Amino acid sequence: MDIEVVGKLLSTLPADDDHPYRTGPWRPQTTEWDADDLQVIEGAIPPDLDGVYLRNTENPLHPAIKNYHPFDGDGMIHVVGFRDGKAFYRNRFIRTDGMLAEQEARQSLWAGMAEMPDWAVREDGWGARRRMKDASSTDVVVHRGRALTSFWMCGDLYRVDPFSARTLGKEDWNGGFPYHLGVSAHPKVDDHTGELLFFNYGKDAPYMHYGVVDEHNDLAHYIDVPLPGPRMPHDMAFTENYAILNDLPMFWDPELLKHDIHLPKLHADTPARFAVIPRRGQTSDITWFEADPTYVLHFANAYEDGDEIVLDGFYQGDPEPGGEGITDKWQKAFRYLALDHLQTRLHRWRFNMVTGAVREEQLTDTISEFGMINGSVTARPHRYVYAASGVDGWFLFNGVVKHDLRTGAEESFFLGDGVYGSETSMAPRVGSSGEDDGYLITITTDMNDDASYCVVLDAARVSDGPVCKLRLPERVSSGTHSTWAAGSELRRWHETDTAAAAVGL
Ligand SMILES: [Fe+2]
């Protein structure tokens, strides 16, 4: 393994930090690494695994003004690239405006999710709430061969090189980027059309917008999506012809909001509403459907089935867990992040475009979230969802569950006690012939070995365990969202003789 330290950022976090989301498996990194020819600890790197696994991570560098929330940390992108039976690794902080300003100031300048906006040092800021730091630490997608990182409560999108993880600047969509509201956590890329679909939201009417960026990177479509008030949608879905947005009954308490207090509350008597919009449709073309009240953090996929739109996502059985019986103060404070408390289960909604009827059903008893599919079936009927299983009481993943939605069968892989994974992406094998013909990739934080590994599973035989396990240069912080980009989607990938040359370009 060829390893080099290429950067080190200033951290002012105290050595005796006791916050569980800044220590242990969430201990942040300050070092940026280049590593080539990753050491294979177990198995062998499949020669038909070709492309890059990208993972975003919240990685704080300074104490919060008062209360740190794990969504506040600065973004760091990890890249594990596979080509010709070899693998490389890069990690880089995303050079956001906020992160650079705080490096200069040697302190936090903006108020986090668990803080009041007027605690912020700076008057400006990002996020639907405003006066937050856009850490760009939530998701990462690849559009037109370039990675884009996002912030969970709407912000800029940062362009990141998918080989070197270097920040290339802010995405501007050829002048069309809606900087005043930003873009929400999960912009969606349709690899079949080259489009990117997104929404944003805010505290002023119409409270939501929906947009489409075309294959030339122009903002080709942008419409109002009027809502009854400020909402907190996190994810969306799309089919071949429709986009699906949501207005869910978990939102800031309107009375408290008048006093600038942003406290999400479940409005249990209010239905969940889903907006189905023709992908280039107007506001007047929106069809709303009502369903059982819940909150959904992530959807897995959607597709058309005759007159119906089918939407699969993770229904929360208890979006507002009470915390009774939780004795640990940190577990109680962050119970909203634990999958077992939220009771997140894969769920299917069917919206009939002709009759307006809604049918919904729980697809499994198993608790999981952060579901990924084979990207080639995005917006098409899918059979498999690969999701994370959670550690009871904590925002940590301890394994992968493969849900077979045709048979109801489930297959899982447990990473082991003290080993935590990230969102597991599905990488179709080169020349793939079936939906589960490929690999599942995750990065682990292994507290037993004080190390991190990139673990690759066979998507068709998940419970068999790793096909290969590769050592990373240091233990990385636990993190969540990830994506896979095949080498065939990456413009520079096949213009060079080796992956290392592609990185160096
Ligand atoms: Fe998310």
SS (HEC) of 123-190: CCCECCCCCECCCCCCCEEEECCEEEECCCCCECCEEECCCCCCEEEECCHHHCCCCCCCECCCCEEE
Q: What is the DSSP letter of 333?
A: H
Task: Spell out the per-residue pLDDT of the chain, length 505, in tens.
Answer: 899 999 999 999 999 999 999 999 999 999 999 999 999 999 999 999 999 999 999 999 999 999 999 999 999 999 999 999 999 999 999 999 999 999 999 999 999 999 999 999 999 999 999 999 999 999 999 999 999 999 999 999 999 999 999 999 999 999 999 999 999 999 999 999 999 999 999 999 999 999 999 999 999 999 999 999 999 999 999 999 999 999 999 999 999 999 999 999 999 999 999 999 999 999 999 999 999 999 999 999 999 999 999 999 999 999 999 989 999 999 999 999 999 999 999 999 999 999 999 999 999 999 999 999 999 999 999 999 999 999 999 999 999 999 999 999 999 999 999 999 999 999 999 999 999 999 999 999 999 999 999 999 999 999 999 999 999 999 999 999 999 999 998 877 767 666 666 665 4
Confirm or deny that 209 is annotated as ligand binding: no
Contacts of 141 (CB under 8 A, 6+ apart): 147, 148, 150, 187, 188, 189, 196, 483
Confirm or deny that 262 is annotated as ligand binding: no
Contacts of 314 (CB under 8 A, 6+ apart): 296, 297, 298, 299, 300, 344, 345, 346, 347, 368, 369, 371, 387
Confirm or deny that 19 is annotated as ligand binding: no
CA of 151 to the centre of ligand 1 (A): 9
For the entire predicted model, the pTM comes to: 0.97
CA of 370 to the centre of ligand 1 (A): 8
CA of 368 to the centre of ligand 1 (A): 14
CA of 3 to the centre of ligand 1 (A): 31
Contacts of 431 (CB under 8 A, 6+ apart): 48
Q: How far apart are CA 168 and CA 147, in angstroms?
A: 10
CA of 53 to the centre of ligand 1 (A): 17
CA of 233 to the centre of ligand 1 (A): 10
Confirm or deny that 234 is annotated as ligand binding: yes
Contacts of 172 (CB under 8 A, 6+ apart): none
CA of 494 to the centre of ligand 1 (A): 31
CA of 164 to the centre of ligand 1 (A): 24
CB–CB of 36/45 below 8 Å?
no
Indicate the domain borders of the chain: 2-504
CA of 98 to the centre of ligand 1 (A): 20
CA of 17 to the centre of ligand 1 (A): 26
* CATH superfamily placement of domain 2-504: YVTN repeat-like/Quinoprotein amine dehydrogenase (2.130.10.10)
CA of 311 to the centre of ligand 1 (A): 17
